[in-house]
Structure 1
Amino acid sequence: MTSAVAVPIELVEHAPAVSLALPHSVGRALAAANIVDAAPDPYAPGRWSLRAGHKVGAVAVAVPGCVDPVTVRITPKVPIARFFFLLGYTLNPRGGWQDGQVEVAEHRHLLPALAHALERQVDRALRQGLLQGYRETEETAFVVRGRIREAEQIRRHYGAALPVEVVYDEFTTDIAENRILRTAVERLLRLPGVPRDVRHGLLHQRARLADVTAIVPGRRLPSWQPTRLNSRYHQALRLARVVLDGSSAEHSPGGLRIDGFLFDMNKLFEDFVTVALREAFRGTGHTARLQDPHHLDQAAAIRMKPDFVLYGADGTPCAVVDAKYKAERRSGFPDADLYQMLAYCTALGLPEGHLVYAKGNASHAAHTVRHTGIVIHQHALDLDQEPAGLLADIEEVALRLVNTPRV
């Protein structure tokens, strides 16, 4: 498929490659940053073949000498509303994203939808005013306030009476919750592609948070604890964390500035499946462990981490699950998922294992391994259905896990 130069570049997750006329500096930057599969088109000099993989979102590439950045938008295969359900459920399964809470379905692309969702959530959080709380502050002062930091006083001032190194608790709006919201709003305002009305709303929220200090890029986000007092902030803070977490792209390969955010659909699917299964077993007497560490060999030299291991009341493993958004089809190892699950079952002493795929990447199947009798089940979840149906399918998988026979 070929097209003329387009800004922004529009791609769809796991869709066929497109051929575009691009500056080589931009193509090389996209390839180096691992944003998309990018390579010079061997049949068309001056053009690049671009194909989106499992990352979705939006990035802007600032090219030296160019006034405007080149924007790349990668749309997920699932509808935007369904994407936000998966995301919201993973963040908070018992109070996550609800259809109708924010009208994200009206947006075709992920960035406008995310910006709209965050703006609405921040607006709800701040409607009753900014939260205030106590923050420990350290400063050099000429008046004693709070406690004197004796070690710092000696180290910095060699016994002089003034100034004084003090630490005190200040009641302020410049607390972790507000700082996270302010920083997420600032980040979205930096990105091109936010609709004008949404940008206007974000600017309004930034004005509300004007007295709050934004977090310096690259610094660790301050921690916060969900409480009754900050309950109106919970949804906004979880969504803000999505904007600011490690999946965001902020690179400078080869002197080019690449700014934006990317979601890994592999990880999102894995997180949704494992969290939903854990919720299905809540209160049943079973214990679910995510990314549960084990070893394949007796010498404990070969580590492995199944996505989900279910334990019975006696503390022994009774089921193992691995979530695979896209079926493994690497050259030379076309059934690597099955080999991996066989290793899990062998190490855990289980007669059955379960692979959960997104529908369209693999079909329902069961494979009995020769000479061992181990059965490996492949389940397929249809992500393009209403949340109730999707969670019902998860319940069916959970029922199968409970019925896994013991050795």
Structure 2
Amino acid sequence: MTFTRRLDLTEHGGWVAATLPPATGHRLAESRVVEARPDPHEPDRWQVRALARVGVVRIAGVEVSIAPKLPIGRLFFLLGYAADPTRGWRTGEDLVDTGSHTGVVPALAHAFERLADRALRQGLLQGYRTMDDALPVVRGRIRTTDQMRRRYGVPLPVEVTYDDFTTDIPENQLLRAAAERLLRLPGIPGSVRHRLLRLCARLGDVTPLVPGRPLPCWRPSRLNSRYQAPCRFATLILNNSSVEHRHGDVRVDGFLLDVAKVFEDFVCAALTQALRPYGGRCRAQARHHLDEACEILLRPDLVHYTDDGVPQAVADAKYKAEQPEGFPEADLYQILAYCTALGLPAGHLIYAKGNELQTRHTVRGAGVSIFQHALTLDEEPPRILTAVERLAACLANTGGDLL
């Protein structure tokens, strides 16, 4: 019997039949990357379907490729806008170039390499890095305690701490690690692989990251503005393609992108930009509490505050409606809790169009209105952003019309 070695699935698509050993089928089910169920009549026949994550992974010897429902270009527009919403989207400047690739991993590799190459055209970014070392001369500040503990009575070498102006900084380390990780993923086209190898060579003097350790921290600033988009993509690649990623005893090796998280990040970034003309400020994942004892934590996706810090509007992005067993309207209960805790007369749920209806609910006895908006994602980027602007107007003027 020939067992299935590759599965081609679509995000939230239908069930696909596969011939798998029982142990492999159970590992697929335990991975939580896909849903898998055995055929009650044939022990080697399984039904498999994808959930909300897209990409390519290897699980128990099976290569699973999950394609998004959205066109690749549109998915990467959402990613790119969330990474850097200040670029010239309305003028047609493409922040994320996916080339002609139709797969998530090839498109991601192409986009990252183009962004990194654009950032490095002016040369490698340099910055100050604090170093602890033992030197034959004094440089920077002497670490007296370490000198006495390690070299009591011996004048040289000297234990010192100094700032070194170098290219071996977190931004370059992230770019190198992401390029090396992409080279280990399946399905990278030869031309893109060649450019990634060239990128690694340019970053050859940068210290490689240690697998399993936290990623180095970096902060956006005026000095590293050209690096910000590729660094955000590098973080995305490294956080979603770790070889250490496991569910229980099941090892998942590859790259997986959570489309629901991409949608949430895009909505928060786009709404923040669209609400700027109305004044105030926005905060994503702001911490609030439902109870007086501050034991029940609430973290809305986005809260719009006045300049004085008073909550003015709250929104939650939901790529697909959550329907946990026993709570078929969980999203509505959640946004109602946000409105109650923040003292707001209205809350906004933002779905991807096709996953939930657009409507308005008025909560009996509370006078709270819950708006359900449907954002169409398969349109051209300018039209998507125009729809977000209309949504921002509704948030700024609670009680306004739906999109």
TM-score where L is the length of structure 1? 0.88
Distance 1:299 1:109 in 2: 49
Question: Partner of 1:187: helix, strand, or coil?
Answer: helix
Distance 2:28 2:154 in 1: 56
Identity over the aligned pairs, expressed in percent? 55
Q: 1:76, CA displacement in angstroms?
A: 1.3
Q: 1:257, CA displacement in angstroms?
A: 4.6
Partner amino acid, structure 1, of 2:75 = F
Q: 1:54, CA displacement in angstroms?
A: 1.2
Q: Is 2:322 the counterpart of 1:328? A: yes
Distance 1:265 1:377 in 2: 23
Aligned positions of 1:340-379 closer than 5 A? 340-379=334-373
Q: 1:330, CA displacement in angstroms?
A: 2.9
The structure 1 residue matched to 2:244, chosen from 226, 247, 250, is 250
Residue 39 of structure 1 corresponds to which residue in structure 2? Answer: 37
Instruction: Point out where structure 2 has 5 or more consecutive residues left out of the alignment.
Output: none
Residue 125 of structure 1 corresponds to which residue in structure 2? Answer: 119
Q: 1:189, CA displacement in angstroms?
A: 0.8
Could you tell which deviates more after superposition, 295-304 or 206-215? 295-304
Question: Partner of 1:245: helix, strand, or coil?
Answer: helix
Q: Is 2:17 the counterpart of 1:19? A: yes
Aligned positions of 1:203-214 closer than 5 A? 203-214=197-208
Change (3 A) 1:211 1:167: same
Q: Is the Cα–Cα contact under 8 Å of residues 285 and 299 in structure 2 kept in the other structure?
A: yes
Q: Is 2:74 the counterpart of 1:76? A: no
Residue 179 of structure 1 corresponds to which residue in structure 2? Answer: 173
Superposition CA RMSD, Å = 2.6
Question: Partner of 1:333: helix, strand, or coil?
Answer: coil
Count of residues in Structure 1 that have an aligned counterpart in Structure 2? 397
Q: State the Cα deviation string for residues 168-196 of structure 1 (Å, max 9, x = none).
A: 33333222222111111111111111111
Distance 2:254 2:134 in 1: 38
Q: Is the Cα–Cα contact under 8 Å of residues 33 and 53 in structure 2 kept in the other structure?
A: yes
Q: 1:96, CA displacement in angstroms?
A: 7.5
Could you tell which deviates more after superposition, 33-42 or 112-121? 33-42
Partner amino acid, structure 2, of 1:50 = V
Instruction: Point out where structure 1 has 5 or more consecutive residues left out of the alignment.
Output: 64-68
Q: Is 2:2 the counterpart of 1:8? A: no
Q: State the Cα deviation string for residues 335-392 of structure 1 (Å, max 9, x = none).
A: 1211222222223222222111110111111122222332211110111111111111
Change (3 A) 1:350 1:154: same
Partner amino acid, structure 2, of 1:326 = K
Q: State the Cα deviation string for residues 86-116 of structure 1 (Å, max 9, x = none).
A: 1111111112876645541521211000011
Distance 2:305 2:124 in 1: 44
Q: Is the Cα–Cα contact under 8 Å of residues 83 and 229 in structure 2 kept in the other structure?
A: no
Distance 2:250 2:196 in 1: 27
TM-score where L is the length of structure 2? 0.89
Q: 1:228, CA displacement in angstroms?
A: 4.4
Q: Is 2:270 the counterpart of 1:292? A: no
Residue 66 of structure 1 corresponds to which residue in structure 2? Answer: none
Question: Partner of 2:232: helix, strand, or coil?
Answer: helix
Q: State the Cα deviation string for residues 114-139 of structure 1 (Å, max 9, x = none).
A: 01111112222223332333333223
Change (3 A) 1:256 1:367: closer
Q: State the Cα deviation string for residues 183-238 of structure 1 (Å, max 9, x = none).
A: 11111111111111111111111111122211111222223344444333233222
Distance 1:102 1:317 in 2: 34
